[in-house]
With several copies, the nearest count.
Chain A
Amino acid sequence: MSVIVLVDGEPLAVTIAHGADGLVGRVGDVEYRGTIRRDGETWRIELGERVLLATVVRAADAVWIAADGEIYRCVLAAEERAAAGTARVATPRVTAPMPGKVLEVVVAPGQRVAAGDPLVVLEAMKMETVASAESAGVVTRVHVSVGAMVEPGQLLVELDPS
């Protein structure tokens, strides 16, 4: 099995195989041999010299691992790419960076904007966040209106970069 795991966003190429004496894992150029055993959320990772006693849980969007005083959030790069792929289209699309409520729609279709111009003002927990244009263009569609609740990644505004 070969996969790319994003560990806190850092892509690591991981290959795992059965070895004669247990599990053989390879991360980049480094090989680790040993065993991994689990008792519920507790995983005992014995790869190389050190024993790691980790807590491993699978959330909806990632696997979370606590080990040695650190917390790691891990996703498969393939899944991350697949999710990102659906959002990446030719037309620049401005999406909600956070969950929240639309406080103000600053632009209207047909309006020309410069990079950095505010498009939509969002509020979550009484903190305002502005969704701005990443590049110049003309607003083609506005998908939200004031008062709407938006999810992270939800499409707010489409721009025509031409």
Chain B
Amino acid sequence: MPSVTAVLIANRGEIAVRIIRSCRALGVRAVAVYSEADADAPHVRLADAAVAIGPAPARASYLDVAALIAAARASGADAVHPGYGFLSENAAFARAVADAGLTFIGPPPAAIAAMGDKVAARTMMERAGVPVVPASGVLPPDAGAFASAAAVTGYPVVIKAAAGGGGKGMRIVREATALPDAIRAAAREATAAFADGRIYLERYLERPRHVEVQVFGDTHGRLVHLGERECSIQRRHQKIVEETPSPAVTPELRAAMTEAAVRAARAVDYVGAGTVEFLLDQHGRFYFLEMNTRLQVEHPVTEWTTGVDLVREQILVARGAPLSFATVTPRGHALECRLYAEDPARQFLPATGIVHVLVEPAGAGVRFDGGIARGSVVGVEYDPMLAKISTWGATREEARTRMLAALRETVLLGVVTNRDYLRAVLAHPAFVAGATHTEFLAAHFADWRPGPGAERARVAIAAALALTSRAVGDSESDGARRAAASPFATLGGWRSGGTAA
């Protein structure tokens, strides 16, 4: 039975922090790795040990297989958790980990490889009786070949990377004339993101919902599902709001989708945590999209409703333990919002800066998974997701109103985030009604701009003082100020004991 007593976490940010927490509760040593940019990141601070693995660019650090395996060996780790992103769906990495005598906390390399080739996976799913969207095989990056294939599936079509995932390398095409540009861009993005430029085409479904099923297998042949998640709220194919259960999934549909998901996972002898993604069309038909052979960003909503700690379960399964549950009985409703360093009013441009203040939301039914702290530098090297906020409620409405309250509580000063955009999404009548689909943001929020803050006049007065005086953080030290007798320092030259007019 594999020993898992010390886990090297081959990742950074919130997911590294999240994995450390489950390791600690299990009494397993957590070893962090960090690039030069992350030397004082929260995941480094929280771990039992931390190993420097290279300079800031991911290619030279978090994607450097040799450096990661050397770090595992140097730190005495006997297992590796890849998190999501980076090398989490890289079969070669999983094999390299095993070859180094370490336990890979994830599915067998063969399952990763089988699902990693999106075209081959599609064929396999068709054979396993899992419904798939009409599509071509891999095509040469040539407008003629794509035009012929599109004529078979019908427009609109979407061009996708064969090695892809997460929206990288995807291009929607509504007419033949747009094919050449889209082919070029998709191939380039695919090469950049996956070092594999192969692309293909499939029928594009209008306004479908993105509904996925969490599955879990153990090494004793048991394979179960943990219900679905709806992740339709996407900007540029990037999920930003997720929930479980889906407002659109009836018990009958759930039975069919979860059965199909388990069938899909069984087709690749799946072990560990995985997610089978479907598109659900407006007629209640669902189609296999892809299987993510790793922990999903949005896994907390499933943890809320099922009570299963998915990372803990991953570690136990990696040790050879049977699944700790036979079936799950989800309770209530859970939502997740992803907090990104980006400006939704400016085409979601990534934002950079320093986290000068961070107030995390808390309280009943609120969970904050963060990878930043006061003083963190948000740069361009990595994914701009800073944190995830998830809420639970006995009903969807309770979870939703808690989320609105939690987002209001979340204060991050120094970096532009999508916080207020998320608040607007959660407050939109169509979201309240559960009328969600993958074009939701494009349909309702294309021209979103933040409203003017209600207190902007008085804020402007304070800002004028702060911007023109040297009073803010320039004069005394914190310690000296705190030691002063008066609880409030009088501002700059604006000493006054007067009352409001």
Contact = CB atoms under 8 A, between A and B. Distances in A.
A110 interface: no
A57 B397 CA distance: 35
A66 B461 contact: no
B472 A129 contact: no
Interface in B383-402: 383-384
A150 to B, nearest CB: 10
- Count class of interface residues, chain A: 35 or more
A53 to B, nearest CB: 4
B490 A37 contact: yes
B27 interface: no
A59 B455 contact: no
B450 A8 contact: yes
Interface residues of B, number: 79
A51 B467 CA distance: 21
Nearest to A61: B353
A39 B459 contact: no
A129 B498 contact: no
Contacts of B468: 1, 3, 76
Contacts of B168: 126
A29 B457 CA distance: 11
- Interface SS, B side: mixed
A40 B478 contact: yes
Contacts of B483: 60
B49 A38 contact: no
- Interface SS, A side: strand
A56 B352 contact: no
B360 to A, nearest CB: 13
A43 B490 CA distance: 10
Contact of B499 (A5, A22, A54, A124): A22
Nearest to B414: A59
Interface stretch (B148-156, B186-194, B211-219, B327-335): B186-194
B453 A18 contact: no
A138 interface: no
A74 B499 CA distance: 26
Contact of B349 (A58, A69, A97, A128): A97
A65 interface: yes
Contacts of B463: 5, 7, 14, 56, 63, 65, 72, 74
Contacts of B466: 56, 58, 63, 65, 74
7 contacts: A8-B452, A45-B458, A56-B466, A67-B459, A71-B453, A97-B349, A125-B382
Interface of B: 39-40, 44-45, 49-50, 168, 185, 188-189, 192-193, 236, 346-347, 349-350, 352-354, 356-357, 359, 374-375, 379-380, 382-384, 408-409, 411-414, 416, 419-420, 450, 452-468, 471-473, 477-479, 481-483, 487-491, 493-494, 496-501
User: Closest 7 interchain pairs by CB?
Assistant: A22-B498, A33-B501, A21-B498, A74-B463, A22-B496, A64-B413, A25-B461
